[in-house]
Chain A
């Protein structure tokens, strides 16, 4: 059974719309992350959360907003979508004290038309 669940696996959106990517992890980890992968940038770090608090934000645009309603949830809201936002978005988690040892979900592939 997958330990990190990402929903939806595939989604298509129109330019200017808004989408939410869902991530739940069942590994008991306290740190969660969002990464983006596209043809232009193989793996791009976006956000890190620890104990539901934002630790690091490397996303220049405020259109990307992580939301953590529970310890094991870290959703990603993307507003005013652009075609350049088309990518696969990966959620990941790690155990406290084991920085760098990430467990990734299978990704949500977003296509913006």
Chain B
């Protein structure tokens, strides 16, 4: 079945560290990939999306490239800040279905 796997449940970094959060997916049809961010006390917010092979999405210094060959959409940021502390969700829509399939989320902690 269709699924999204985020391998890191939690990532702890210091400010200015490089961030990678891994996202792999399995889709029975045409996939569209999303990254969402959820700050404490708020609902998730869309960071960006991608639907074509090698398409790069980016926003707020975060970026991810959809790789059809490795079925991946890893989130990266070159230099994290304390304000980036949040939970990050990778999500999948198959064949433009309204129902998103969500990863389990990765909590990003920025150490002082």
Contact = CB atoms under 8 A, between A and B. Distances in A.
A31 B93 CA distance: 15
A50 B34 CA distance: 21
Given A43-B105, A58-B99, A106-B43, A100 B89 contact: no
B26 interface: no
A102 B105 contact: no
Interface in A5-63: 31, 33, 42-43, 45, 48, 50, 55-56, 58
A107 B34 contact: no
Interface stretch (B16-24, B44-52, B65-73, B77-85): B44-52
B44 A102 contact: yes
Nearest to A90: B43
Interface residues of A, number: 23
Nearest to A103: B46
A3 B22 CA distance: 31
User: How would you classify the secondary structure of chain A's contact residues: helix, strand, loop or mixed?
Assistant: strand
Contacts of A43: 44, 89, 102, 105
Which has the most chain B C-beta neighbours within 10 Å: A50, A56, A90, A99? A99
8 contacts: A4-B43, A33-B98, A43-B44, A43-B102, A45-B100, A99-B96, A100-B93, A102-B46
Interface of B: 32, 34, 36, 41-46, 49, 87, 89, 91, 93, 96-100, 102, 104-105
Given A99-B32, A99-B93, A101-B46, 6 more contacts: A42-B105, A43-B89, A55-B98, A100-B34, A101-B34, A104-B42
